[in-house]
Each structure stands twice: as C-alpha cells, then as structure tokens.
Structure 1
Amino acid sequence: MSLSASAVTLLGLVAWSLLLLFIMVNQRGLLVLGGRMKVNAFSADGSNTPSAFGQRLVRAHANSVENLPLYAAALLYAMVSGQTQLTDPLAPLLLGARLFQSLMHLISTSALFVWLRFAGFLVQMLILAWWLLRLAGLA
C-alpha cells in the first residue's frame, strides 16, 4: 500500500512531536538520575531547566503539539474525503517548514533565529489557509 504525501506528512508531524518529547524526557531523565534535579522539580514551561537549550526544547515541543491538531484536521479531512490531490503538493513543504521552525527554535532565541522561526511558521499558516480554501471549494 502506497501512502499519499498527505499521509506521510501527517505521520511525520506526529513523529517529530514524539521525537522532541523523547529528547525532552531523556534530558530530564539524565538530570534526575545525575542528581542535578528532583523528579518533581520541573516546571511545565521549562523555565527552571539548567540549560537554555532545555527551555527552548520545552517550547519547541509545546509549539509542535499545539499546532498539530490544525494540520491533522486538514490532512485527515483531505484523506477521508478523497481530496488529497489538494493537499499532497504542499504537504512535504508544510512538514519541512515545521521541522525548520522547530530547529530554529532549538538553536537560538536571537533576533535572527526568531525571524527565521517566524518565517517557517508563516509558511505553515499560509499552506493551511490555502488548503482550507481549496477543501471548502473556495479557491
């Protein structure tokens, strides 16, 4: 069975969120096992993580998870309604933009990287808006 680009993208978005979660759990596990933090000391926003990377990782993961339902809904609708021909062409670009945004988030919070992160986010939002217009028959 061959998967459409939309299906591969949906799986990729979920896998990316899961990978970020595994990295975060690994980092926190090492801190706990190394005696550097207590298991119940982590703040939800990562603000008390010993490294700036840990804080950025928490935000990158949260951002991936909070946007996943938007992409998943559009992609699932396209798949269920047999309209993946509308989402397939831009699906890999959406996944690439999501990965790019997260990676920029993980690398730095300097102004340049915030602008790059925003560019990746903007690409995703424009693709999603285009898909919704096309799926609704308005474009």
Structure 2
Amino acid sequence: MIKGLYEAHLPVSDLKRSIAFYQELGLAFDHQVEDRLAFLWIEKDKSWLGLWKTDKVELDYHPSIRHIAFQVTLEDLEQSVEWLRSKGYQPRKAFGFEPVEPFVMPHDGYAHAKIHFNDPDGNSLEFISKLDNPKKLTNRMYLSEWKKRSERNE
C-alpha cells in the first residue's frame, strides 16, 4: 500500500528566512498559504516539505518531531561538509563523530553514510546515503575509513 513518503513538516520562526534556507539546499518552492505555511518540493511531484511559522520552535529537540534526513548520492555526501560550509552552514557533531567528514553507521547487509546539521531554527537535518555492506562491517567509522576497509581484499 505505502509507496513512499509524500510530505514532512517542520516548525520555523521566520518563514521567509526558512524558505530561502531550504531553497539554497536545493528544494524547489511550490506555494505558500498566507504567511504561515510554505511547501517546497524535495523531489518534484513526489515529496515535499511543509514549513509552519510558529512560536513553538523552542520545543525541546527530539528526532521524532524535529528531524528530517535528505537522501543524497554518495558523491554529493562526500562533498557535503565543504558544500555546507561554503554556504555558511555548519555540520554538527552526531553520534560521537566530529563534523569533519560524513560517518557510517553499519547494519547487517547495508550501511548508511551521513552528516548532520541544523536549519536556522535548530531543526535537525541530515544528508544520508545508503551503502552496501558485503563484508558485514559492524563498527561505526568515518566514511574515508569505511571506504578503505570496504576496498581491502581480506
């Protein structure tokens, strides 16, 4: 029945600033409802992000209410730290990893490489790319180390 995620929503304090922020990340503005809600396409005609202007952005962070992970290519993820910084945004520490490069969280037959950062209201964002894990690596590590270990003939 479910084919994918169509929309997700985040609280923001300044709708105009947030629209500009997400457009700079590559989302395409679609429409605005009065001065309180805007929709931007993550993937045109497939999934979008709703931004709600509210004074409730000061809610304590919890990933279940203030977190979105954007799927990106591995190549884009490898450039993400530099790309974010070039736009004036700072990646942040997550899961014990300093934001010097993406890191990998492995699972049995796959893994996820990721980098975390925040929007202007402190909503948690991440760029993420799924990886194969044919060697069934189990340790979390930076992406550069993952690639070295994955390429070794052991």
Q: Which TM-score band applies after superposition, normalised by the shorter structure?
A: under 0.3
Larger strand share, 1 or 2? 2
Larger helix share, 1 or 2? 1
TM-score computed with the length of structure 1 as normaliser: 0.25
Q: Kindly indicate whether structure 1 or structure 2 has the higher relative contact order, using CA contacts under 8 Å at least 6 residues apart.
A: 1
